[in-house]
Amino acid sequence: MPELSKPYRILVARFCHESHRLNPRPTDEELFVVERGHDILRTPAGVLKGLTDTLAAAGANIEPVFSANGGAGGLVDHDFYVRMREELLVAVRRIKPDAIGLDLHGAMGTTETPDAEGDLLQALRHVVGPNVPIGIGLDLHGHITPRMLDNTDICIACKENPHSDFVECGQKVAELLLEQLEGRLKPVTVSARVPMILPGAAETGSGPLAEIHAKAREYAAQQPSIKDISIYNVFRFTDDDEIGQVVTILSDGSGADTPSIAVDLATRFWVERERFKDDLLTVEEVFERVRSSPDKRPFAIGDMGDRVAAGAPGDGTILLSAALDGYPELSGAVPITDPVAAAQAIEAGVGATVKLSVGAGFTPGFTPRLITGRVEHVSDGNFVVAGIVGRGDPSAMGPTAVLRVDDRIQVLLTTKPADTTDPAAFTSQNVVIEDLDFIIVKSGFHFVANFDGLATPVLVNTPGVGYYRRNQFDYQKARFWPEHDIANPEITARQHSIGTS
Ligand SMILES: [Zn+2]
């Protein structure tokens, strides 16, 4: 990065949540980890880290406002969202920054609006006007709306699923913002949308998605004016107009070819749509595999239906019951969200034997499970993510108790939905994962990266709101394949201009 002509003042903030409309537990302030001011620069993670490290190295003046990270869960409490939005707007009016850099998720919805980022960015643009650059770095699981693109100069996503490149994404946002401030970049974004979701095969490292990403990199290498191509894995747990696969291209000036490139990449999704399928094991198949396979133990079993990482409550008991009732020779660890049972176990104290009904407190249709076990560990449930996805991020499971059942199954009773993408969720609770046959993780992709070398990953087909199945969810506004019969769609490119929505 060449030296800056002046020490620009760049306002930075992080406001991240992936909001699942069918998780009946709204995400309120208590479920967010919030830090303010310079505290957010002490150990930043992800996009925020890439942003702030790059800005600091370039000599820009960073004006940190807040970091609010809620992970994934039910719709964000609208009043909390509005308070945070207003806090940000007040800071913007006070600081009068030269540019704004934000770490957002891209699929935040509140109890009142399915497009929280669009609302936030429109409000910011209204305050700063058209000439203050706004740059955002997103999770690729975004619900990307025209309102978001019409109000940002730089809107780009991470490129990998599992998301091992959040830091690089933030770095790129910072570099592009500074290039724009220095007058060396006139960012123009075009987008193309396909009315479909990816029912499966959503990892970027293999299958049709790897091929489409490779084609995007090839286009970018051929055209120096292209600064970024972002390919979003549509977020399907919302119900809004125009949900679909989105491709965005950010170029320096309006390149004549970028609309046709966006359309070509988007069309590839439609052409390849039948290949986007997962290969999930049934509950019986997965435990049989654990029992009989010589592969490295433990097996990390991704509970797809109850994925906290996709916004599910994490209160499923089907895998716990299968392990207790059908596989007496297996040892394992099973996290379950249950604030009431966690409190009862903590109250009883370490060493006590308790009989508790656990799980099924939130997800409709789930069945609680009665267990008797010895309380072997209690804690505040706080840990720091160690693996590549989210490294350095504080994670809060809330008060947590570990119950040992049948002397072989450790049940982690958490107050909040636990992000078990990372081994630290278990090791922080004194669970020795290498001694176990299996651990249940409430994640579908990211755990594969964070448990690399520690466990054998498998995905299991379980009920719940964390996994898309045709006709399971009631969509009123959204129309997309394969939920609806869609004839060959007309895929067109749209150029975005600041402040037009
Ligand atoms: Zn994601």
Q: What is the DSSP string of 118-130?
A: HHHHHHHHHHH-T
Task: Tell me how far the alpha carbon of residue 133 lies from the centroid of ligand 1, in angstroms.
Answer: 25
Task: Tell me how far the alpha carbon of residue 97 lies from the centroid of ligand 1, in angstroms.
Answer: 29
Which residue pairs, CB below 8 angstroms and at least 24 apart, start in 259-262? 259/190, 259/192, 259/493, 259/495, 260/493, 261/219, 261/223, 261/226, 261/229, 262/190, 262/191, 262/192, 262/493
Task: Tell me how far the alpha carbon of residue 136 lies from the centroid of ligand 1, in angstroms.
Answer: 15
Task: Tell me how far the alpha carbon of residue 478 lies from the centroid of ligand 1, in angstroms.
Answer: 20
Q: What CA–CA distance (Å, rounded) separates 495 from 480?
A: 22
Task: Tell me how far the alpha carbon of residue 445 lies from the centroid of ligand 1, in angstroms.
Answer: 9
> Residue 64 to residues 35, 278, 284, 447: CA-CA distances in angstroms?
10, 41, 50, 30
Q: What CA–CA distance (Å, rounded) separates 380 from 396?
A: 8
Residues 6+ apart with CB under 8 A from 182: 2, 4, 5
pLDDT of residue 499: 72
Q: Kindly write down the DSSP assignment for every residue of 155-209, as one continuous string.
A: EEE---SS---HHHHHHHHHHHHHHHHTTS--EEEEEEEESB---S---TTSHHH
Give the number of other CB atoms < 10 A from CB of residue 1: 13
Question: For each of the chain's 501 residues, which pLDDT tens digit applies?
Answer: 778 999 999 999 999 999 999 999 999 999 999 999 999 999 999 999 999 999 999 999 999 999 999 999 999 999 999 999 999 999 999 999 999 999 999 999 999 999 999 999 999 999 999 999 999 999 999 999 999 999 999 999 999 999 999 999 999 999 999 999 999 999 999 999 999 999 999 999 999 999 999 999 999 999 999 999 999 999 999 999 889 999 999 999 987 799 999 999 999 999 999 999 998 999 999 999 999 999 889 999 999 999 999 999 999 999 999 999 999 999 999 999 999 999 999 999 999 999 999 999 999 999 999 999 999 999 999 999 999 999 999 999 999 999 999 999 999 999 999 999 999 999 999 999 999 999 999 999 899 999 999 999 999 999 999 999 999 999 999 999 999 999 999 999 999 988 777
pLDDT of residue 496: 95
Q: What CA–CA distance (Å, rounded) separates 413 from 405?
A: 12
Task: Tell me how far the alpha carbon of residue 406 lies from the centroid of ligand 1, in angstroms.
Answer: 36
Task: Tell me how far the alpha carbon of residue 462 lies from the centroid of ligand 1, in angstroms.
Answer: 20
Token pair in block for residue 277: 């399928």
Name the DSSP letter for residue 490: P
Nearest Cα neighbor of 179 from 63, 58, 46 is: 58
Task: Tell me how far the alpha carbon of residue 388 lies from the centroid of ligand 1, in angstroms.
Answer: 14
Three-state SS for 285?
A: helix
Burial environment of residue 477 by CB neighbours within 10 A (0 to 12, 13 to 18, 19 or more): exposed
Task: Tell me how far the alpha carbon of residue 72 lies from the centroid of ligand 1, in angstroms.
Answer: 9
Render the burial of 215-254: b for 16+ CB within 10 Å, e for the rest: bbeebbeebebbbbbbbbbbbbbbbbeebbbbbbbbbbee
Q: Beta strands 332-337 and 438-441: pairing type? A: parallel
Task: Tell me how far the alpha carbon of residue 16 lies from the centroid of ligand 1, in angstroms.
Answer: 11
Q: What CA–CA distance (Å, rounded) separates 415 from 91?
A: 33
Name the DSSP letter for residue 256: T
Domains with residue ranges and CATH for the chain: 9-276+491-496 (3.40.50.2300), 283-460 (no CATH)
Task: Tell me how far the alpha carbon of residue 169 lies from the centroid of ligand 1, in angstroms.
Answer: 13
Phi (first) and psi of residue 260, to 5 degrees = -70, -30
Q: What CA–CA distance (Å, rounded) separates 290 from 284?
A: 10
Three-state SS for 405?
A: strand
Contact 314, 342 (CB under 8 A): no
Task: Tell me how far the alpha carbon of residue 389 lies from the centroid of ligand 1, in angstroms.
Answer: 10
- How far does CA 452 lie from the centroid of its chain? 19
Angle between helices 166-181 and 46-58 (to 10 degrees): 40
Task: Tell me how far the alpha carbon of residue 306 lies from the centroid of ligand 1, in angstroms.
Answer: 16
Task: Tell me how far the alpha carbon of residue 355 lies from the centroid of ligand 1, in angstroms.
Answer: 37
**In 27-115, alpha helices (H):** 46-58, 78-95
Q: What CA–CA distance (Å, rounded) separates 376 from 411?
A: 10
Task: Tell me how far the alpha carbon of residue 138 lies from the centroid of ligand 1, in angstroms.
Answer: 9
Q: Beta strands 409-414 and 332-337: pairing type? A: parallel
pLDDT of residue 334: 98
> Residue 467 to residues 242, 302, 314, 445, 462: CA-CA distances in angstroms?
20, 11, 12, 12, 8
Contact 429, 292 (CB under 8 A): no
- What's the order of all strands across the beta sheet hosting 299-303? 353-358, 369-379, 400-405, 409-414, 332-337, 438-441, 299-303, 456-460
Task: Tell me how far the alpha carbon of residue 163 lies from the centroid of ligand 1, in angstroms.
Answer: 7
pLDDT of residue 242: 83
Task: Tell me how far the alpha carbon of residue 233 lies from the centroid of ligand 1, in angstroms.
Answer: 8
Q: What CA–CA distance (Å, rounded) separates 417 from 11?
A: 31
Task: Tell me how far the alpha carbon of residue 401 lies from the centroid of ligand 1, in angstroms.
Answer: 28
Q: What CA–CA distance (Å, rounded) separates 135 from 181?
A: 11
Q: What CA–CA distance (Å, rounded) separates 43 from 323?
A: 39
Token pair in block for residue 167: 């830091």
Render the burial of 177-190: b for 16+ CB within 10 Å, e for the rest: bbbbbeeebebbbb
pLDDT of residue 141: 96
Task: Tell me how far the alpha carbon of residue 107 lies from the centroid of ligand 1, in angstroms.
Answer: 9
pLDDT of residue 500: 77
Q: What is the CA radius of gyration of the chain?
A: 23
Task: Tell me how far the alpha carbon of residue 85 lies from the centroid of ligand 1, in angstroms.
Answer: 22
Token pair in block for residue 178: 């500074």
Half-sphere CA count of 52, side-chain side, radius 13 A = 25
Task: Tell me how far the alpha carbon of residue 372 lies from the centroid of ligand 1, in angstroms.
Answer: 36
Contact 10, 128 (CB under 8 A): no
Task: Tell me how far the alpha carbon of residue 140 lies from the centroid of ligand 1, in angstroms.
Answer: 6
Nearest Cα neighbor of 373 from 318, 330, 413, 322 is: 413
pLDDT of residue 497: 87
Task: Tell me how far the alpha carbon of residue 158 lies from the centroid of ligand 1, in angstroms.
Answer: 9
Token pair in block for residue 380: 């505040």
